[in-house]
Amino acid sequence: MKMNFSIEEAVKKRYSVRNYLEQPIEEEIKAAVESFIASLSNPFGKKVNFHYLDPSGMENQQKLGTYGVIKGAKQYIGTTIKLEPLALEALGYEMEVLILYLANKGIGTCWLGGTFNRKAFANAMKVGEELFPIITPYGYPAEKKHLKERAMRKMINADQRKDWKELFFDTDFQTPLTKEAAGDLAFSLEMVRLGPSASNKQPWRILRKDNRWHFYEYKEPGYSKSFPYDIQRVDMGIAAAHFELAVKELGIDGEFDTASKPEVELPKHMEYCFSWIQA
């Protein structure tokens, strides 16, 4: 997994592209993308499987729908996992690293966890018994957003992100962490804050305690009801990817770990996920 681009530029360039040009991805770029995917790994030690759907595989796939959300896309990448602890986070991590790599190359993507015909895509991608939570189209973005896309973005405030004081905390959940107090790690937190999340709910909360960084999920009541798994765990994996790519770029060493859950009073609906510990 070689990241030879600026994380900040890629994070700022990425947005959910729902309208694509007809222009296919060149064969040599496709080959580079596939070899990048083969090099992916994650800090949670769970296997994430990638599946491809190319224009030829999309012929005669009448039912291959995204409910009008995605237009013009000819190629998709799907991911499958075995449902076990930290597998959704591993998926979020690897897929987001891929999405940032593609954004850097000017290739658009859109996380899809809800608005796609899961059965039809599973058939077309020849997915077996594994859990199949996420796909993304990929291709060159059209210049303008389509009507439904614009309405959708407006409805979920897709251009907004929560303030620091709602997301990052110092020692307990009553005390917001300021940028000054975050020191060198402020950049990593800012990269987390700008990330994508399902319905833009931004469930990531980070608590710094005894110089360790603890990641929590603010589990939106009722939100994952329509899925047989907690889709916001994928968002937590995305947060881990943004955080880790940023610290690596700064040259700060550290590791994720799930055995460092701190003693702290938790607000309602907050669940501990994992910690990052500086070396």
Ligand X SMILES: Cc1cc2nc3c(=O)[nH]c(=O)nc-3n(C[C@H](O)[C@H](O)[C@H](O)COP(=O)(O)O)c2cc1C
What are the residues binding ligand X (CB under 6 A)? 15-16, 69, 110-115, 156, 158, 196-200, 231, 234-235, 238
Shortest distance in whole angstroms from residue 113 CB to ligand X: 3
Shortest distance in whole angstroms from residue 231 CB to ligand X: 6
**Using an 8 Å Cβ cutoff, are 250 and 187 in contact?**
yes
Q: Which helix (H) or strand (E) holds 37?
A: helix 27-38
Distance, CA of 134 to chain centre: 10
Smaller CB distance to ligand X: residue 49 or 260?
49
Cite the DSSP H helix spans in 146-255. 147-155, 164-167, 179-182, 186-193, 232-250
Pairwise CA distance, residues 12 & 9, whole Å: 5
Shortest distance in whole angstroms from residue 263 CB to ligand X: 30
Smaller CB distance to ligand X: residue 169 or 204?
204
Smaller CB distance to ligand X: residue 145 or 214?
145
Shortest distance in whole angstroms from residue 22 CB to ligand X: 20
Shortest distance in whole angstroms from residue 119 CB to ligand X: 15
Burial of 2 (0-12, 13-18, 19+ CB in 10 A): exposed
Pairwise CA distance, residues 91 & 158, whole Å: 22
Smaller CB distance to ligand X: residue 78 or 254?
78
Pairwise CA distance, residues 208 & 215, whole Å: 9
Smaller CB distance to ligand X: residue 110 or 189?
110
